[in-house]
Structure 1
Amino acid sequence: MTTTGEEHRAAPAGPWWWARWRSAALDVVLAVVSALECAVEGVPFARDAGLPVPAGVVFGVLAGSVLLLRRRWPIAVVLVSIAVTPAQMGFLMSVVGLYTLAASELPRRIIGALAGMSLAGMFIVTFVRAHQGAVRGDVGIGEWFVPFLSVTTALGMTAPPVLLGLYVGARRRLMESLRERADSLERELQLLAERAEERAEWARNEERTRIAREMHDVVAHRVSLMVVHAAALQAVARKDPEKAVKNAALVGDMGRQALTELREMLGVLRSGDAVTPVRSVPLEAVGAAAAAAASRAADGGDARGPAPQPPAADGPSLAELDELIGQSAAAGMVVVLSVEGETRAYAPEVEQTAFRVVQEALTNVHKHAAGAKTHVRLAHRAAEVAMQVENEPPPEPGAASDARLPSGGNGLVGMKERVAALGGVFVSGPTDAGGFRVSAVIPAA
């Protein structure tokens, strides 16, 4: 089936092969006009052929009615118009048929062949008729007029409908191509919008997870130390008032730092440009502040003095492990740090993750094995950095910390997520001696 203007993608809404009722009505009108034309032209044809006039009229009606099939079988319409050309009938059918044929999606070679046949037929018939008229004396012009008339008539009846049909067909195909491209772009934009929404949702979830992990690793660690110091303060309040005052000052300093960090992190969860980013006050300021407070308390100074200024770094690093271990030591933990290999700098995310692993492991020791001796091992290797935090059994087996620290069960999960995000390996579990070991290996690159 050949189409000449219907929407290819839409289901036909008209009768039979027509896409619309309007197209069907137009073809019926053209077929009726063509049938009347051929019927009128069939009268002289019947007289010249020696046939009864009614036979010529019926022949003309049948031939002209073929135009009704122009959208479904344009080749048949053109062939019928070529066949009735010697009878000098079907001029409307020839013009409309050639236009429909040229506007269809048939191969150009078929369109050219049928157009050439129609041109040749029209030229021959016109030449013969004009020459017969000149011989009978009906035409009194020179001999040049017969070929000129034949060529002009043939071209006038063939070229305009073919060229117009080619133009309309090309324009229709261009519009359909543009429409399909627009639909494709719309689908792509919709798909991109869905993917962008998915990426935004994924980014929001990742940010929530990151903030929750930071709050657990930093604030929970600091608050755990505060609770440990508070328990120690309660134990020595009456026996050693001076030491109790120093411990109280240290707890207060840690509490202020923890509140500052908590306020910074909660501000990220609120929308608005006025909120200060989390990294405006680096997280390692807590460690520096606690160490400084402990140092001032040990020297007999005022532990409640002004907190030190935060360093300019963008996050904790392995260089601050000494301060981190010093904080745990100030809380009564025996911690031994050993470093293997040549110390060197790593990417910020690698150093921050390694620091957080050690920090959270020490926090777990405070919670679950208070007073246990802990070994922190750090190994600098060629393509990776490895860390291990292992605590011995607590002095009283099965005894929890006197501070009764709560445990949310997210510490090990957060450490594993951090290490896995950098392509590292994380392992944790109890030791044969009754302690607990946390190990992690992070690629240096």
Structure 2
Amino acid sequence: MSTTGAHVHDDGAAGPPRTGWWWWTRRRGFLLDASLAAVSALECAFEGGTFAQKTGIMPGAGALLGIVVGSVLLLRRRWPVAVVLVGVAVSPAQMGFLLSLVGLYTLAASEVPRRITAALAAMNGLGTMLVAFLNFEDSLRGSTDGDSMSVPLTLIVSALMALGLTAPPVLLGLYARARRRLVESLRERADGLERELELLAEKALERAERARSDERTRIAREMHDVVAHRVSLMVVHAAALKAVALKDPQQASASAELLGDMGRQALTELRQMLGVLRTASEVVARPAPVPVASGGSAGSGDAVFMGAAGERTEGAGAGDTCADADTVGGPCLAELAALVEESQTAGMGVELTVEGESRPCGPRVEATVYRVVQEALTNVHKHAGGAKAHVRLAYREAEIAVLITNGPSDGTPTTPLPSGGHGLLGMRERVTSHGGGFAAGPTPDGGFRVSVMVPAPAV
């Protein structure tokens, strides 16, 4: 930016050009400058006429020159350097007092580099001191006691006068410039904080919407897990009841009683889940990045149990490992044996194997593993009639793993059951919400496997 073309605001401060009439953005700024220029023109006209009369020049020419010089003050906001230079140039003619004061203030308050401001202020001060010194010398020559005042004293008085006419407007302009910068900085900071608050509010709304969506998904998943397994078993038993109703009344009676028990269990689980939804105030879990599931691709699911601690215990229950599961209203690993027994009662050949020493793993982790096994057995009931299944549960030092496999169907007809296709997706969401790994797919022999690993340090 050119130092002679710095745009100055209405308060005498420089800044980027703004729309308005010429370089004035407000009418009051124009009126102020016009008033100052008029006063300065009158002053310079009087001083110019007086100086011309002393030097033998036509007073009218001096007054006209003074009007032109004083009117330069109208340009102070646009070219403050030029105004100060004009004031320095006419200082030997002892004119432009107001012009110099206002010009120095505007220059110091503008965005002109400070070294230029200091140089022009020094030039103005030096010119004022020389003019004052010459005036004092001329006055002393005509006085009778001229010898009583020495030259050093005259220099000191001249310097003090120059300092008094130069320093105050410069310091006042520097103060106005610093204050304006501070106000602009505070305004920018306030605008930045306002923008940050708006962004935070938008993010809060997004998080709330995401939380509502996650909660809806969780409720749908819970409803699916609770209803699908029980209803699938009830449908299987209803088909069996229809087949033996006339041939074996005693077996039909037992099946009917079992259907009633399953219906009551389904209602009980639904009531428990709805009670949790009404009263629980837990934070919605955020899905974590899905790590690569142990066991690799389909057909290598047994690799998930490589190096498991402890001995294998065929057909053993998981033990009482979730004493505090009721705090969240969900099932626990201690109920896996009963879950497997229900499938066995429905005619499925299913076996439970537990590896490692059972331990509490936290109610949420245990409920997740239980629901995965439950959904996997439900899928066997739906899609692989007569197939044998194997549930393998392994306790490790910092995780718990489960593998559910089933062989191909033996051709036994199955009762058609509705399926929304969300079973595997729901299992994956449950597992990844704990930062675990999930893998599912067909096996080489035509069966299917589900492999799960969930971090579960000892509680």
TM-score normalized by the length of structure 2 = 0.78
Two-structure CA RMSD over aligned residues (Å): 3.2
Residue matched to 1:2:
6
Partner-residue secondary structure (3-state), 1:15: coil
Query: Which of these residues, 433, 440, 448, is aligned with residue 428 of structure 1?
Result: 440
Aligned-residue offset at 1:22: 2.9
Write the mapping of 1:7-18 to structure 2, written as runs, cut at 5 A.
12-18=18-24
Residue 165 to residue 438, structure 1, CA distance change in 2 (3 Å): same
1:56-87 superposed Cα distances (whole Å, 9 cap, x missing partner):
22322222222122112212211211221111
Residue 312 to residue 265, structure 1, CA distance change in 2 (3 Å): closer
Residue matched to 2:107:
101
Aligned-residue offset at 1:129: 0.8
Rounded to whole Å, the distance in 2 between the matches of 1:311 and 1:65 is: 90
Residue matched to 1:324:
339
Partner-residue secondary structure (3-state), 2:169: helix
Residue matched to 1:290:
none
Residue 87 to residue 267, structure 1, CA distance change in 2 (3 Å): farther
Single out whichever of 139-148 and 409-418 deviates more from structure 2.
139-148
Contact 1:11–1:19 under 8 Å retained in 2: no
- In structure 1, give the amino acid aligned to 2:35: V
Write the mapping of 1:226-375 to structure 2, written as runs, cut at 5 A.
226-263=234-271, 265=273, 275-277=278-280, 312=326, 314=328, 315-375=330-390
What 5-or-longer segments of structure 2 have no aligned partner? 283-322
Single out whichever of 37-46 and 107-116 deviates more from structure 2.
107-116
Partner-residue secondary structure (3-state), 1:195: helix
- In structure 2, give the amino acid aligned to 1:378: L
Aligned-residue offset at 1:184: 0.7
Residue 11 to residue 328, structure 1, CA distance change in 2 (3 Å): farther
Residue 252 to residue 311, structure 1, CA distance change in 2 (3 Å): farther
Contact 2:7–2:79 under 8 Å retained in 1: no
Rounded to whole Å, the distance in 2 between the matches of 1:432 and 1:31 is: 99
Residue 388 to residue 55, structure 1, CA distance change in 2 (3 Å): same
Aligned-residue offset at 1:360: 0.5
Aligned-residue offset at 1:103: 1.1
- In structure 1, give the amino acid aligned to 2:110: S
Aligned-residue offset at 1:130: 2.2
1:348-401 superposed Cα distances (whole Å, 9 cap, x missing partner):
44433322221111011111223332222233456654322222333435x3x2
Aligned-residue offset at 1:183: 0.7
1:56 to 2:59 alignment: no
Rounded to whole Å, the distance in 1 between the matches of 2:49 and 2:325 is: 110
1:202 to 2:205 alignment: no
Partner-residue secondary structure (3-state), 1:351: helix
- In structure 2, give the amino acid aligned to 1:259: L
Aligned-residue offset at 1:177: 0.9
Contact 2:14–2:109 under 8 Å retained in 1: no
- In structure 1, give the amino acid aligned to 2:404: V
Aligned-residue offset at 1:316: 3.1
Residue matched to 2:288:
none
1:10-62 superposed Cα distances (whole Å, 9 cap, x missing partner):
87232223333332332233223222221221112222333222332232222
Partner-residue secondary structure (3-state), 1:441: strand
Write the mapping of 1:147-162 to structure 2, written as runs, cut at 5 A.
149-162=157-170
- In structure 1, give the amino acid aligned to 2:9: G
Rounded to whole Å, the distance in 1 between the matches of 2:393 and 2:31 is: 89
Contact 2:332–2:363 under 8 Å retained in 1: yes
1:181 to 2:189 alignment: yes
Write the mapping of 1:4-153 to structure 2, written as runs, cut at 5 A.
4-5=8-9, 12-137=18-143, 143=149, 146=154, 149-153=157-161
Aligned-residue offset at 1:238: 4.3
TM-score normalized by the length of structure 1 = 0.81
Identity of aligned residues (%): 60
Partner-residue secondary structure (3-state), 2:452: strand
Partner-residue secondary structure (3-state), 2:112: coil
Partner-residue secondary structure (3-state), 1:337: strand
Contact 1:264–1:278 under 8 Å retained in 2: no
Contact 1:324–1:359 under 8 Å retained in 2: yes
Rounded to whole Å, the distance in 1 between the matches of 2:181 and 2:370 is: 65
Query: Which of these residues, 215, 219, 232, is aligned with residue 224 of structure 1?
Result: 232
Single out whichever of 132-141 and 358-367 deviates more from structure 2.
132-141
Residue 150 to residue 432, structure 1, CA distance change in 2 (3 Å): closer
1:406 to 2:418 alignment: yes
Rounded to whole Å, the distance in 2 between the matches of 1:261 and 1:55 is: 109
Rounded to whole Å, the distance in 2 between the matches of 1:423 and 1:8 is: 59
Rounded to whole Å, the distance in 2 between the matches of 1:428 and 1:137 is: 116
Rounded to whole Å, the distance in 1 between the matches of 2:55 and 2:28 is: 39
1:378-437 superposed Cα distances (whole Å, 9 cap, x missing partner):
33456654322222333435x3x23x3211111111112223344444333334444332
Contact 2:7–2:16 under 8 Å retained in 1: no
Aligned-residue offset at 1:126: 1.6
Aligned-residue offset at 1:132: 1.3
